[in-house]
């Protein structure tokens, strides 16, 4: 068929269908001879006769490569699945099922096209991570030809053939978290860095040895896709101590193990996203990732329950009790976030600011479902949003526009993150702030289809519908544990919020994404340290901040911070870890007290970890069962009789040493019949029980039991001995905790004049 005989020449692929297969070799040979014989001629490759003329030689190999490409001809479904064999079962099963669906609907050609395209995408993603380099290491079987011999292990033969057939051969090291072979890889890389460092140290000048050795080890880090530690401190500031600490890290197998484990988690999830294992039915993360995260949480809880902490005074506490009393408890974390958001709203309303909600989404190239997807993961998309927000804040700072609020990062069903931001600004700055947000939100691919509809949404807060907290609280809740949202559906997935909330937490954990951030506010760590403060009355400035923190009043805390000027104080330990680095431990808070800078210790006690013995494990199991029984009984009651959340928390059985067997927790009686010092010795059990209320200082115990003085406990209450009985008066702050802040400050100032307490 000649192209000159038709007015509309057929496309190349359709022409290929009309070309007789048996004549293909003859046509190629005839064209090759004609190309060599004729120096120049405009030739139609589909014409029977070659027309003479002047032209340049044609690269026949390149022109005919789509037709006679032998590797493409040899590609079969069996060969494709053989290449995918080292990958996890979830990935292989998903690809095989989708391939079969394509074959059933479109034939072998459609199935092969899908399989070829999927392998291509998987290969691109696989080479974004350094594990394809591992196949050349000693502990991975090399693709050497092996004869079938009974003396050779069959597994070894299979591994060698697999390494030869598949580019994913090293993935078998990643099938399990913290696998032995991955630890071996970490040891080999650390050993390689050590060898490089030793060679540099032996040959280089002592003055530059650290920096040259750092460069050699950093080059290995960059080869493996790991950011070298202290890069700016060494390369920009030329700090020799930083280079030394960095070398100790880069030559440590444990450090390399943590880096490779982080890359392993991201790589496995990235491959699952490519084949479509993250979708509306399995949102945010794959089932494989969610199962691993759930197993991690279960293992961590078991370790917390089987570990005890004990201080120098003999106070024994299960580690899980201490952990659940802080922000590791999702309920406590949610309450703190809501309190902070409510404080921002109250401050904004008092100062005349207005609020609006901003939903910021990534361009289509970050979304897996888009044809423009560039095969990057959620971490890259999050970095894009961070950069956009940094530009927005820099532009506002340049214009001296105050900007407060909070943001929540949550995933789309395809794992791509998007932000919900609560913004508080003055009315005169509203238009400028919105214009800046729009400018940077549409800076990248702002004119692509769908950008105006989905990239950015700005919604004013309607006071008729509710306050700002009502707008942000649902995003806070459904990204922690979905508390207080029973029966609500997630708009992204259509599933109940309490079902998808754990998957959102697993998503943030796997991609190491910060979910919540407040900006333009005081330090929340100072707030937490004030709530830990157990000593007696402080100065009016510090006491006002403490009262606000203990009463969960963030607005009052912000105002009190302006007067107290509180900041964290750290206990610094030079060379405090195995890498020779300086370590910092929060010791307390420092601030203004009675016009002077003071230091308040909030973490004076030293605790040590130890494994729980059988008696302690049994005591905690009994306590858990009592708590479970209380939950069961309360759930079985009708709605009118059921305990409220606060009442249930107050009624919950607490841990105490009395739960332990007789040698630990037997009751004691004081042998003192008057306030005179008649005791000649103090039983160790008495010391333990006094420690439970915070009386641990030997001098205070002696004053209490021998001298007859009153002693203050950790909560500010007073203890004394009267008629052989231990008496207690609670801290009087509890009696005035409902006073307004200004009255509380004036009351505390009067205390300073009438009492003997000192700061």
- Whose tokens are 């491959």? That residue is 271
What is the C-alpha to C-alpha distance for residues 681 and 335, in angstroms, rounded to an integer?
47
Distances in Å between the alpha carbon of 408 and those of 403, 418, 510, 579? 16, 8, 17, 35
Q: Is 475 one of the catalytic residues? A: yes
| 517, β-bridge pairs | 407
Q: Is 417 left (phi over 0), alpha (psi -120 to 50) or beta?
A: beta
**365-371 contacts, C-beta under 8 A, 24 or more apart:** 365/445, 366/416, 367/412, 367/414, 367/416, 368/273, 368/274, 368/276, 368/278, 368/414, 368/415, 368/416, 369/414
Q: Is 99 one of the catalytic residues? A: no
What is the C-alpha to C-alpha distance for residues 377 and 125, in angstroms, rounded to an integer?
9
What is the C-alpha to C-alpha distance for residues 582 and 703, in angstroms, rounded to an integer?
40
Q: Which of 42, 10, 11, 45 is nearest to 28 (CA)?
A: 45
E runs forming strands in 612-712: 711-712
What is the C-alpha to C-alpha distance for residues 645 and 288, in angstroms, rounded to an integer?
35
Phi, psi of 245 (to 5 degrees): -65, -40
Identify the active-site residue in 440, 475, 559, 579. 475
Phi, psi of 482 (to 5 degrees): 70, 25
Structure tokens, 282: 């399995």
The residues, ordered by sequence, that sit 6+ positions from 551 with a Cβ below 8 Å of its Cβ are: 737
Identify the active-site residue in 114, 471, 559, 620. 471
Task: Give the containing element (helix H, strand E) for 532.
Answer: helix 524-532
DSSP code per residue over 560-579? HHHHH--EEEEEEETT-STT
Q: Is 358 left (phi over 0), alpha (psi -120 to 50) or beta?
A: beta
Catalytically annotated residues: 471, 475
């Amino acid at each position: 068929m000649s192209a000159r005989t038709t007015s509309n020449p057929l496309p190349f692929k359709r022409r290929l269908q009309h070309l007789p297969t048996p004549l293909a070799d003859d046509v190629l040979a005839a064209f090759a001879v004609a190309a060599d014989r004729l120096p120049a001629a405009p030739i139609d490759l589909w014409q029977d006769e070659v027309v003479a003329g002047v032209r340049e030689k044609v690269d026949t190999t390149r022109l005919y490569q789509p037709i006679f490409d032998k590797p493409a001809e040899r590609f079969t479904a069996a060969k494709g699945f053989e290449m995918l064999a080292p990958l996890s079962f979830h990935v292989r099963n998903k690809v095989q099922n989708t391939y079969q669906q394509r074959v059933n609907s479109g034939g072998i050609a459609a199935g092969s096209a899908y399989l070829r395209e999927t392998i291509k995408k998987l290969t691109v993603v696989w080479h974004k991570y350094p594990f394809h380099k591992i196949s050349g290491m000693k502990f991975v079987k090399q693709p050497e030809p092996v004869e079938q011999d009974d003396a050779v292990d069959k597994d070894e033969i299979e591994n060698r053939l697999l390494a030869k057939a598949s580019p994913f051969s090293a993935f078998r090291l990643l099938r399990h978290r913290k696998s032995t072979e991955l630890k071996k890889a970490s040891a080999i890389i650390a050993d390689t860095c050590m060898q490089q460092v030793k060679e540099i140290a032996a040959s280089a000048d002592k003055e530059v040895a650290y920096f040259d050795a750092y460069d050699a080890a950093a080059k290995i880090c960059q080869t493996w896709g790991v950011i070298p530690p202290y890069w700016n401190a060494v390369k920009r500031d030329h700090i020799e101590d930083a280079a030394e600490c960095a070398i100790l890290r880069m030559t440590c197998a444990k450090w390399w193990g943590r880096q490779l484990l982080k890359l392993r988690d991201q790589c496995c999830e990235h491959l699952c996203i490519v084949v479509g294992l993250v979708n509306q039915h399995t949102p945010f993360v794959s089932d494989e990732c969610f199962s691993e995260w759930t197993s991690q949480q279960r293992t961590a809880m078991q370790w917390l329950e089987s570990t005890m902490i004990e201080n120098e005074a003999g106070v024994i506490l299960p580690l899980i009790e201490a952990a659940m009393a802080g922000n590791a408890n999702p309920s406590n974390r949610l309450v703190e976030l809501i309190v902070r958001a409510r404080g921002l709203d109250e401050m904004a309303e008092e100062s005349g600011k207005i609020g609006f909600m901003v939903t910021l989404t990534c361009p289509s190239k970050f979304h897996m479902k888009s044809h423009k997807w560039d095969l990057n993961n959620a971490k890259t998309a999050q970095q894009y949003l961070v950069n956009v927000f940094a530009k927005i804040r820099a532009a506002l700072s340049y214009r001296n526009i105050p900007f407060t609020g909070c943001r929540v990062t949550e995933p789309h069903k395809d794992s791509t993150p998007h932000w919900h931001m609560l913004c508080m600004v003055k009315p005169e700055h509203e238009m400028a702030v919105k214009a800046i947000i729009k400018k940077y939100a549409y800076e990248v691919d702002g004119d692509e289809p769908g950008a105006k509809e989905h990239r950015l949404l700005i919604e004013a807060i309607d006071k008729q519908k509710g306050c700002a907290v009502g707008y942000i609280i649902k995003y806070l809740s459904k990204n922690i544990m979905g508390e207080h949202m029973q029966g609500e559906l997630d708009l992204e997935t259509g599933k109940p919020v309490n079902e998808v909330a754990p998957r959102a937490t697993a998503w943030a954990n796997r991609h190491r994404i910060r979910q919540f951030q407040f900006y333009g506010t005081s330090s929340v760590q100072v707030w937490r340290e004030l709530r830990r403060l157990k000593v007696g009355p402080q100065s009016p400035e510090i006491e006002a901040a403490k009262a606000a923190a203990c009463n969960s009043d963030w607005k009052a805390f912000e105002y009190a911070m302006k007067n107290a000027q509180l900041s964290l104080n750290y206990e610094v330990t030079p060379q405090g870890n195995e890498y020779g680095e300086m370590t910092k431990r929060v010791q307390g808070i420092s601030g203004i007290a009675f016009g002077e800078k003071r230091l308040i210790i909030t973490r004076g006690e030293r605790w040590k970890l130890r494994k729980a013995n059988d008696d302690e494990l049994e005591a905690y199991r009994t306590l858990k069962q009592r708590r479970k029984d209380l939950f069961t009984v309360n759930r079985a009651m009708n709605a009118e009789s059921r305990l409220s959340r606060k009442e249930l928390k107050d009624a919950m059985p607490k841990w105490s040493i009395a739960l332990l067997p007789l040698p630990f927790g037997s009751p004691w009686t004081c042998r003192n019949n008057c306030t005179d010092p008649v005791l000649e010795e103090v039983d160790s059990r008495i010391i333990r029980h006094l420690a439970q209320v915070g009386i641990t200082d030997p001098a205070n115990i002696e004053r209490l039991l021998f001298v007859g003085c009153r002693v203050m406990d950790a909560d500010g209450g007073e203890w004394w001995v009267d008629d052989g009985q231990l008496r207690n008066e609670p801290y009087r702050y509890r009696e005035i905790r409902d006073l307004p802040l200004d009255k509380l400050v004036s009351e505390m100032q009067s205390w300073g004049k009438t009492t003997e307490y000192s700061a």
